[in-house]
Chains A and B, each alone.
Chain A
Amino acid sequence: MRRAALAIVSTVAALVMLLSFKTHSVSSSRPAAIGAANTGDGSATGGDSGSTAPPSTATSTHAGSTKGGSSSAAKTYTGDSTDTQWGPVQVQITVQSGKITKVAVVDYPHGNPRDDEINSYALPQLVQATMSAQSAHIDTVSGATVTSDGYLGSLQSALDRAGL
């Protein structure tokens, strides 16, 4: 069981890494502001490890241009739910002043003790990898071929929408 959890964790971390470092090269092809504005950092982080309820995301896709200079207010973007071999996974990121300030998995496979382990361990890695990408000034990333399956699509779509 633990092995399975670790496998998931490493997959999560790998995909997040690829995505997070790719934020500079990934498109904002479908700009869509989804969900409510995040009010702050401290109080919101508690939800990362516990809540299993997917938020009701009202998908409002507008094909215009995204923010130019009005990005100082925190905004939350939710990716499409993507089926992985473990079940549906959905990722949400919060962006403030053009930087990712928070990454959360809002939906993930339930009904198994390993879920708790994933959430207590993978999420900090998600955030850490994303944050370090933000400070690295990397334009794009090279690595062994990325597949478009699974979790990748979910976080990627969130990042695409954030337009980073």
Chain B
Amino acid sequence: MTWRVTVDTGLCISSGMCVGTAPTRFRFDESGHSSPVRELTEPDDQVRDAAVSCPVEAILLTDAETGHPVTLDD
């Protein structure tokens, strides 16, 4: 499976939880919002942890083929 990683910049409060937790997966864009380093990725615990830890649930993980949300439970 391939995941599609999107950050809702309307929700993002620039907490940097994701950038601090998964620095190779997320970075700040020029406006100070989080942005995925790569939009498509193999399933990855760091990315999932970042999504779980986001205080405003701004990180959306979906199955790139079906578009279905990826479950965030371990």
Q: Do A and B bind each other?
A: no
Q: Which residues of B contact A (CB under 8 A)?
A: none
